Amino acid sequence: MVTPRILVPEKVSVDGLALLSEDYEVVSRPQGLSPEELLSLIPSFDALIVRSETKVTAEVLSAAGSRLRVVARAGVGVDNINVEAATAGGIIVVNSPAGNIVAAAEHTVALLLATARNVGRADRTTKEGRWERGKLVGVEVGRKTLGIVGLGKVGMKVARMCIGLGMKVIAFDPYANPDLARQTGVERLVPRLQDMLPEIDFMTIHTPLLASTLDLIGETEFKLMKPTARVLNVARGGVYNEAALLDALNKGIIAGAGLDVFTKEPPDESTPAWDLLRHEKVVATPHLGASTVEAQENVAVDVCTQVAAVLRGELPTSAVNAPLILPEEYRALKPYAKLIERMGGLYTQNFVSPPSSSVGVGARHFELVYHGDLAGVSNSRPLLAALIRGLVSPFSDTAGKHVNIVNAMAVAREKGIIIREVHAHSGAGSGKENSVYASSVTLRAVAAEDEQQDREKTESVNAGRQVIEGYVSANNIYISRLGRFSANFIPEGTLLILHNFDEPGKIGGVGSVLGRHGINIRFMQVASLDLERSKAGQDGTKGQERTQSDMIATNGNDDSQHAQPPVSEGSSKKKGDEALMILGVDGDITKQVMEDLRTAEGILNVSLVQL
């Protein structure tokens, strides 16, 4: 296996990179890369970690080809990444929305106090030898009104800090939780931005830069404010219209501004941003909102952890171009995602791909049934992605590693895979009313609607026979049913699954074959027929007697060339005299090993599964 490579073209905290260096090849270029250099290098990397200076354009993402799997932004905003192009290419974009919350909020408060007390001008003129106390009279912030646009994590933190300074806080955010805002101390949420502008003394914005927030505050909005109002921006340049802000300061429409971000950084000469930097009513800083030692360590550790998770085929916690996964959801879903991916791989390798199969392909239509507590999950897309990755991995040159929550459905459409999710809450019809597990999962292959009348096709897609069930216990994953057989094994490593007649001597015979070939058995389990399901018709047979051909085709493969002779009418072989042997093994399972096992007496079929 080629060691995944990670490109880091900016300075990123060594604490984060240390998490990657042991398992991955990390190429760090803290001095930066030119656009041409990035285009040249990116095709040979699996991951890219950037801050704010590197522009990850559609051209860069296209040049990366199919190898690049994740782009990580060590910070909050991702406006330097073409997220749409990344999504189209199946590339996950992650960021660190929580790593610099405290730093950004504290810098906002620092600019608020600096603008209120003219700290920037006072520092500069004093160092120039001037003592201008009379010209630098400021205002107190206590008992003043702060307006916050965007009451997210940073906005809420700013609100708490400023309430502690004795300020009254009102906010505009159409998606804010009114109860949480009230508990924080926010006096009220206004329905429209314009509603709060006439009464605020300070305004701070904490929103991403989107089409809806570009030039959010312009000439009209400034004219609604008090002439004593001051504005702050530690979010994204472009939220304030810079030309309108410059004009408002020059004309005395507002009293001052504290700016940490600009539309272009650093600003070009002869632009409004350039003039704002030098304006006597502006306190300007060079994008320092997240520039604390603690914040840089936090965001680096966060995004590097997520990059490692994506490269391992696991779930990121903050995928920008995928459904939000909250930390508690991540912890709950992670073991089930692993289980479902293994179930998909087990399905393909056991029911579809043994070399002796004359079927060659398996079902393309599936039901994925969530039982118990798992039935209440609201964000099941990571589980769907895990199933698709597991199903396609045995036939993928990348072992399915490029399948993720961003591109999983596109991969499914491309391969004709259709999955119906069923949330089987407790109650009639769930089939799990008496389950001892808090949550479990069933994967069931079903026939397509247009195949219902085609007996030849539906024989290979028997809903009762191609069934896998599993559960999680203490974060360990287990398979509890495989086809018509009850089981209880951990799906990992190299497995041999043998379908055989249930009679004495079979275990010893299989052990002898493996012993001759130097194959070590790590564990073995005999899985018996689930007779209760058979009687109830839940295995697809509706309770009728199985013929010998039924038994041979149990796993969806017509391996009649290796079947035992037909059972005579007076034979002791009858319904129920079957079993599965599930062996975890170490060693090289060659074609000869498989052939010797298949031809052993009483063995109906053998599958090699590698998970």
Q: Half-sphere exposure of 444 toward its Cβ, with a 13 Å CA cutoff?
A: 19
Backbone angles phi, psi at 327, to 5 degrees: -55, -40
Average pLDDT, the chain: 84
Catalytic residue among 84, 132, 140, 265: 265
Top CATH class, 101-284: alpha beta
Supply the pLDDT for residue 255. Answer: 97
Residue 609, token pair as written in the block: 């599964």
Question: Is it true that 5-99+294-311 and 101-284 share their CATH fold?
Answer: yes
Choosing from 121, 287, 389, 546, the catalytic residue is 287
Neighbour-count burial of 392, counting CB atoms closer than 10 A to its CB (0-12 exposed, 13-18 middle, 19+ buried): buried
CA dist 539 → 130, 340, 370, 391, 547 (Å): 91, 21, 19, 22, 15
Binned at pLDDT 50, 70 and 90, residue 548 comes out as very low
Q: Where are the domains of the chain?
A: 5-99+294-311, 101-284, 327-610
Cis status of the peptide bond prior to 355, with omega within 30 of 0: no
So what's the pLDDT on residue 398? 53
Reply yes or no on whether the pLDDT at 341 is more than 60: yes
* Residue 477 C-alpha from the chain's centroid: 20
pLDDT tens-digit series, residues 349-368: 888 755 434 333 456 799 99
Q: What average pLDDT does this structure show over 204-231?
A: 91
- Chain segment 420-472, per-residue pLDDT in tens: 999 986 543 344 444 567 889 999 998 765 444 444 444 444 444 789 999 99
Question: Look-up: residue for tokens 């940073």?
Answer: 154
Classify the C-alpha dihedral 33-36-41-43 as positive or negative.
positive
Distance CA 481, CA 339 (A): 13
pLDDT of residue 415: 80
Q: In the annotation, is 236 catalytic? A: yes
Determine the topology of domain 327-610 in CATH. Answer: 60s Ribosomal Protein L30; Chain: A; (3.30.1330)
What's residue 326's pLDDT? 64
Task: Please indicate whether residue 265 is annotated as part of the active site.
Answer: yes
Reading phi first (left if > 0) and then psi (alpha if -120 to 50, else beta), residue 595 is in alpha
Query: Which range among 78-87, 281-290, 539-548 has the greatest average pLDDT?
Result: 281-290
Instruction: Pull the structure tokens for residue 342.
Output: 């293994």
CB 235 within 8 A of CB 261: yes
φ/ψ (deg, to 5) at 602:
85, 0
Our answer to whether residue 425 is catalytic in this structure is no
Using DSSP, state whether 3 is helix, strand or coil. coil
In this structure, what DSSP letter does residue 352 have?
I
CB 409 within 8 A of CB 428: no
Q: At what angle do helices 101-116 and 293-311 cross, to 10 degrees?
A: 150
Q: Which residue, 469, 464, 497, 491, is CA-closest to 482?
A: 469
Token pair of 376 as six digits: 């209440």
- The Cα angle at residue 107 between residues 104 and 111, in degrees rounded to 5: 140
Interval 491-544: pLDDT, tens: 999 999 999 888 888 888 899 999 999 999 999 999 888 766 555 444 443 333
Question: Residues 234, 238, 242, 244: is their CA dihedral positive or negative?
Answer: negative
**Which residue, 83, 60, 84, is CA-closest to 72?**
83
User: Under CATH, what is the fold of the domain 5-99+294-311?
Assistant: Rossmann fold (3.40.50)
- What angle do the packed helices 153-164 and 101-116 form, to 10 degrees? 50
- Please state, in angstroms and as integers, the Cα–Cα distance from residue 368 to each residue in 213, 421, 467, 469, 550, following that order: 40, 5, 10, 10, 25
Of the listed 51, 121, 206, 236, which one is catalytic?
236
Structure tokens at 257: 């501004």
Lowest mean pLDDT of 83-87, 329-333, 388-392, name the range.
329-333
CB count within 10 Å of CB 168 equals 19
Residue 456, pLDDT score: 44
447: tokens are: 């026939």
Contact 296, 266 (CB under 8 A): no
Query: Counting beta carbons within 10 angstroms of the beta carbon of residue 133, is it exposed (0 to 12), middle (13 to 18) or buried (19 or more)?
Result: exposed
Using pLDDT thresholds of 50, 70 and 90, give the confidence band for residue 99: confident
